[in-house]
Structure 1
Amino acid sequence: MGRSIYCVVTAAGSGTRLGNPGPKALVELAGECLLHHALRTLEPLEGLAGVVITAPRDYLETFTQVAQDASLSYPWKVVAGGSTRQNSVYLGLQGLLSFDRGARQVCANDPEAIVLIHDAARALTPLEQFQRVCRAVASGCPAVVPATELVDTVREVAGESFTRQEVAITPAGATPDRSRLRCVQTPQGFAGNVIFAAHQQGREETNTTGGALDDAMLVAHLGYPQYFVAGSRRAMKITYPLDLHLATWMAQNSNRE
């Protein structure tokens, strides 16, 4: 591919919904924490010039130890995340700029750089998904999102919820065409200059600061088109205990989806 690849791994979120009082990234999955799995997956990615891990401020030493124990061959660093995911990614992007670049590497905010934003909670994302995203960015797509098709019918809600005989009820609205909807995943990939500009503007504008659900939304706010590539069921976001049980099964059956 020949392009310098940088990655921000967001790992500053809490594990409350998993029943864990600490950071979600430290929850154990098949003998190793989620962060360990996420970092090891990146190991074979060709052209990887640097990875920044965003961590809760009180856990910087713990996250550093996890990365050290993973014996990673690529450059990495741990930085403190912010109060929101958007702020954490911004801080992670700033951390990418301080990597010592070799003669063949460009800076992370260069148009020729590929910048990936990945969620450590998607710990089992296969290497092939990273590669698909990188190839699409290298082909000229400024913003690339891996996505999967919906398997359930989706309904909009109409009006406000109310109660009837102590049962909460919400009226149903429209039924969107499922064929036009996708579930988005990570890593999301971007041309370096595009994602840096998007986060800088998102930080400056009060109507977007802290509010973007993912990074591609900030890029779209700048007017850049987004492109989808195939996602993977293995890239599920581990949020609830049932997710963790399923991910454990997948980790123990790595050749199956």
Structure 2
Amino acid sequence: MLKHAIIVAGGSGTRMGAPMPKQYLLLNDQPVLMHTLRKFAHAEPEVKLILVIPENDFDLWSELCEKHNFQIPHHLVAGGKSRFQSVRNGLKAIEGEEGLVAIHDGVRPFVNASVINESYTVAASQGSAVAVIALKDSVRKLLDDGKSVYQERQYFRLVQTPQTFQLAKIKKAFEITELHTFTDDATVYEHQGWQVTLIAGNPENIKLTTPEDLDYAAFLLSR
């Protein structure tokens, strides 16, 4: 079954406080995005990679690829004003409706190959496969009156990417108008009335958002 991967990197990275968006910051002498693309290319050598970034960044990305001799094949697609629109643009760039597609945050370069592989396997049979991890800390729910109540953490999961789907289904899901309740691709899929299937992610698969995350990323690479 044909496999695609849409790597979404349209953020401005304001919380990182860096001179350029976080997806282009260097990690072990290469931009973060290159590490992410390489993970998918190595895990699934036949995967068709689609990179969604702001159209204004196309020249910068071309320069970075030349500078770092980055030769992994990928198709560049212009992002939209929101993550929903960026993913939809990526989906439109895929011809037909056959196969599977993994949707992954460009600034999650530490996803395990085993998670990528399992996401495609499970999505092929179940329709979807969303990577999640269990909580380690206790959880409390904030109430409107300023109080809080204890929640049993075994009933909750932290959602990561990749979020992988049968291509025909996720294309249909993204045909609707964007809603504020769409926090990720799974919620768009779920809006159609389809059940989301969860798979185990890996704890190191963090989303690089703050300067502290980059320090942790450097530590992970040093291992």
Is the 1:14–1:21 Cα contact (8 Å) retained in structure 2?
no
Q: Secondary structure at the match of 1:246?
A: helix
Q: Which whole-Å CA distance do the structure 1 matches of 2:79 and 2:140 have between them?
A: 35
Match among 76, 92, 103 for residue 78 of structure 1: 76
Is the 1:124–1:251 Cα contact (8 Å) retained in structure 2?
no
Alignment of 1:137-148 (within 5 A): 137-138=123-124, 140-148=125-133
Match among 184, 187, 190 for residue 220 of structure 1: 190
Q: Secondary structure at the match of 1:175?
A: strand
Alpha-carbon distance change, 64 to 94 in structure 1, aligned in 2, over 3 angstroms: farther
Q: Deviations over 1:85-115 (max 9, x none)?
A: 1111001111222xxxxxxxxx4x22xx110
Paired residue for 2:32? 34
Q: Does residue 1:237 correspond to 2:207, yes or no? A: yes
Q: Which amino acid aligns with 1:57?
A: E
Larger radius of gyration: 1
Deviation (angstroms), 1:244: 1.0
Q: Which whole-Å CA distance do the structure 2 matches of 1:31 and 1:49 have between them?
A: 25
Structure 1 unaligned regions, length at least 5: 98-106, 161-170
Q: Which whole-Å CA distance do the structure 2 matches of 1:225 and 1:125 have between them?
A: 24
Deviation (angstroms), 1:12: 1.0
Q: Secondary structure at the match of 2:141?
A: coil
Q: Which whole-Å CA distance do the structure 1 matches of 2:103 and 2:77 have between them?
A: 15
Is the 2:43–2:114 Cα contact (8 Å) retained in structure 1?
no
Q: Which amino acid aligns with 2:130?
A: V
Match among 183, 186, 189 for residue 164 of structure 2: 189
Q: Secondary structure at the match of 1:115?
A: strand
Q: Deviations over 1:197-229 (max 9, x none)?
A: 11112xx3x5x1x65111010110001111111
Length-normalised TM-score, structure 2: 0.93
Q: Which amino acid aligns with 1:229?
A: I
Alignment of 1:91-130 (within 5 A): 91-97=89-95, 107=96, 109-110=97-98, 113-130=99-116
Q: Which whole-Å CA distance do the structure 1 matches of 2:63 and 2:165 have between them?
A: 29
Is the 2:40–2:47 Cα contact (8 Å) retained in structure 1?
no
User: How many aligned positions are there?
Assistant: 221
Paired residue for 1:104? none
Deviation (angstroms), 1:45: 3.2
Alpha-carbon distance change, 132 to 65 in structure 1, aligned in 2, over 3 angstroms: farther
Alpha-carbon distance change, 28 to 95 in structure 1, aligned in 2, over 3 angstroms: same
RMSD over equivalenced CA pairs, Å: 1.7
Is the 1:4–1:47 Cα contact (8 Å) retained in structure 2?
no
Deviation (angstroms), 1:82: 0.7
Q: Which whole-Å CA distance do the structure 2 matches of 1:90 and 1:25 have between them?
A: 20
Q: Which whole-Å CA distance do the structure 1 matches of 2:216 and 2:44 have between them?
A: 29
Q: Which whole-Å CA distance do the structure 1 matches of 2:24 and 2:182 have between them?
A: 25
Q: Which whole-Å CA distance do the structure 2 matches of 1:11 and 1:157 have between them?
A: 32
Q: Does residue 1:134 correspond to 2:135, yes or no? A: no
Identity, % of aligned pairs?
A: 28
Match among 47, 50, 54 for residue 52 of structure 2: 54
Deviation (angstroms), 1:65: 4.0
